[in-house]
Structure 1
Amino acid sequence: MPLTKLVPDAFGVLTISLVALLILLGLLCIAYSFYFQSHVRKLAFTQLGYFTGPWIIRITFILFAIWWALGEIFRLSLFRLLSGLDLRWQQNLCKWYIVSNLGFAEPCLFLTLMFLLRAPLKMESGALSGKWNRNTACYTFLYCLPMLALQLALVLSESRLNGGSGSYVKLSRPFTRTYSRVTIDHAEVALCTYPLLSTIILGVFAAVLTTYLFWLGRQILKLVINKRLQKRVYTLIFSVFSFLPLRIAMLCLSVLASADKIVFEALSFLAFLSLFCFCVVSISLLVYFPVSDSMALRGLRDIDGDDSRAVTEERSGALLLAPQNEDSLSLRGRRSSSQERYVELSLFLEAEN
């Protein structure tokens, strides 16, 4: 069924509404993180300050999610119908969208999630320090560069890959096409499409990181025996293994439909919706809940180091698998290693008041 103006309007308004909700959630979590950080420093809650370690990387994860969400607005048919841009600008915008989202924002999202989950397993190497935050940010950009370079090369060499001047190979258009010219209600626009080669590269990248994230999740589950905390870990693993493959599948299927058909708009929206759900779940589990649970313990001051830790863990209901020494047993068996306390409270703490 061909597109009419009503169809892109409907999908466009729904997409913009969801993007606004994601941005609002992200900004609230950023403000909440800054509030908690300043709260810990001003009131000298040193025990709670121990769990604020990767707060910069958490905020970075939100910023990548917002970057991706804003990029999704620029690919919309509604945006093109309302912006009044000429066809050349619309085509260049589609190329920028592929490089920005598929080559930068999405790989950085996956990498940041990996580092956030890896942090609790690397406590002995200083995962709570400011140096760790800086190094992790640098590694994220460094590891993303190959993906960015590949996607940029594919976009810039689109004509050569299609058999144009100076070409050395000839591929069918769906493998390299970044846009398609269509007519919607007598207005000619360039709709963004997803090159199959770009999608395959992103899919391979996501598959490798998903496998590694599955291994990280299993390692974290070995440290967590509280059922409430286990549910959070399982929820995060489920979101990674369901939403990411679903997005890649929808992007691949979109090349089978013409850009001027409703099926293409529906597949593009489902691809957007899958990663939107992934971002919401990840931000909630890795940013909001850790800060919220730590704030629930803000009444605990640093009266006595050992007693404060014992009370903190007693209130948090943290039941850990740590090997305990004699000092730990004297504190009612509630103390655990720094690595395990971080896993419980920094990622998936369920505070019991």
Structure 2
Amino acid sequence: MPLTSVLGDALGVVTVSLVAVLGLIGLLCILYSFYFRDHIRSQSQTQLRYFSGPWVIRITFILFAIWWGFGEILRLEFLRREGRVLHTLDSKWQEIVCKCYVVSNLGFSEPCLLLTLVFLLRASLQKTESGPLSQKWNIRTMIYILLCVIPLFALQMTVILVGQRVETDLNLNKKGYLFKITTEYPNDAARCFYPLLSTVFLGVFATMLTLYLFWIGRRMLILVINKGLKKRVYTLIFFVSGFYPLRVLLLGLSVLFKPGDPVFEVVAFLAFLSLLCCVGVGICILVYLPIADSLALKNLQDMEATRRITGEHNETLSLIANRSPHDDFMASSSSTKRGSISFRAMEREEQQHHADPSLFVELSLFSHSQQSSPAGSPRHHGWPMRSSS
């Protein structure tokens, strides 16, 4: 087997493996999101509803990532070789697969993926009543994403439908840089190409997205005072604004080489790897970490409540152990004036048995004023004893 085929197969296997890992992590995060939302609703944790508000957009972000990864697998050449999955398709259908890849990935899933990431980042800057807590926020955000991606989708469709015909009629660019989508392989297997015009449209979109991302990041860094959150914002901005334009640049350089050449395969793989890093960091920072932080906050609140209740219980036991008979008598007398339910029950019992009121200890009333006895009063240790009549 030629060295080119070995390199293409190796990079293809790595691509499939990375997409499989991305899909597995995405599915686990989807289940984690459902668990978090169900946990918040069942436990009535209203203070954490803000963090579970954008759960639909988070899941949509993961689904776009899986869709994009699946398209990257269909683009691979080694799947169309003899004995592979797509080898049964004739050259015409293989060309259709490459065209669908350009429209699906470069025109829809990839832009939607980046727009969803930006809207999730923007959600933290919105007001509570109109932001993620609003029931219509997820639907409204999804509509905005689809509306924003329509222009780029239409441009990519134009490249696919009329690009080759315009190039043939006007005799433009004999090398096919602008509109070329596929090249023929000696064994009739089509190789997917990245049209230069599609990459130019994607570059304009990447520039606008990067500028908007810098603007949002600047606003967030002004409001965020936690160092850990600042690091997350810096990391997300660095990966998206750095690696996504790098992907567009690599796709633009790929037109200088023929599909199937080692340089082309390496450049295409690095372009795939650049966006994969952006997607992985986005899932980690915008989906997994907010849920993990919310659950950790809830556990911390539960531990604090338990510690507070335990401390109050220990303080109560300490007060009981240090009380004197005179304190018990004063507590009973004060409960008589306040007319507590426990005293009225004891009063009826006293009227029946003529017992000494000092024999009863009022456990329901403790105050700091009852912790000390008047000056000069004797201190008695232990519980009061029944006097003999």
TM over 0.5: yes
Match of 1:330 in 2: none
Contact in 2 for aligned 1:19/1:69 (Cα 8 Å): yes
Q: TM-score, normalised by structure 2?
A: 0.73
Match of 1:142 in 2: 147
Contact in 2 for aligned 1:161/1:171 (Cα 8 Å): no
Aligned-pair identity (%): 53
Bigger Rg, structure 1 or 2 = 2
**Post-superposition CA distance 1:23-77 (Å, at most 9, x none):** 0111111110000000000111111223211111111111111110000000001
Segments ≥4 residues shifted beyond 3 Å: none
Q: Which consecutive residues of structure 1, in runs of 5 or more, have no partner in the other structure?
A: 308-353
Alignment of structure 1 residues 267-278 onto 2, 5 Å: 267-278=267-278
Alignment of structure 1 residues 96-107 onto 2, 5 Å: 96-107=100-111
Match of 2:351 in 1: none
User: Alpha carbons of 1:111 and 1:169: their partners in 2 closer, same or farther (altered >3 Å)?
Assistant: farther
The answer on 1:114 being equivalent to 2:124 is: no
Could you tell me how far 1:123 is from its partner in structure 2?
1.4
Match of 1:207 in 2: 207
Match of 1:123 in 2: 127
Please state whether the residue corresponding to 1:22 is helix, strand or coil.
helix
User: Alpha carbons of 1:121 and 1:262: their partners in 2 closer, same or farther (altered >3 Å)?
Assistant: same
Equivalents in 2 of 1:204, 1:50: separation in Å?
Answer: 34
Could you tell me how far 1:153 is from its partner in structure 2?
1.1
Match of 1:176 in 2: 179
The answer on 1:59 being equivalent to 2:62 is: no
Alignment of structure 1 residues 183-222 onto 2, 5 Å: 183=186, 187-222=187-222
Kindly indicate whether structure 1 or structure 2 has the higher relative contact order, using CA contacts under 8 Å at least 6 residues apart.
1
Could you tell me how far 1:258 is from its partner in structure 2?
1.0
Could you tell me how far 1:171 is from its partner in structure 2?
3.7
Alignment of structure 1 residues 154-173 onto 2, 5 Å: 154-163=159-168, 167=169, 170-172=172-174, 173=176
Could you tell me how far 1:3 is from its partner in structure 2?
6.1
Please state whether the residue corresponding to 2:36 is helix, strand or coil.
helix
Match of 2:94 in 1: 90
| Equivalent pairs, count | 297
**Amino acid across the alignment from 2:210:** T
Match of 1:298 in 2: 298
Q: Which consecutive residues of structure 2, in runs of 5 or more, have no partner in the other structure?
A: 309-389
Could you tell me how far 1:125 is from its partner in structure 2?
5.5
Match of 1:70 in 2: 70
Match of 1:50 in 2: 50
Equivalents in 1 of 2:291, 2:171: separation in Å?
Answer: 53
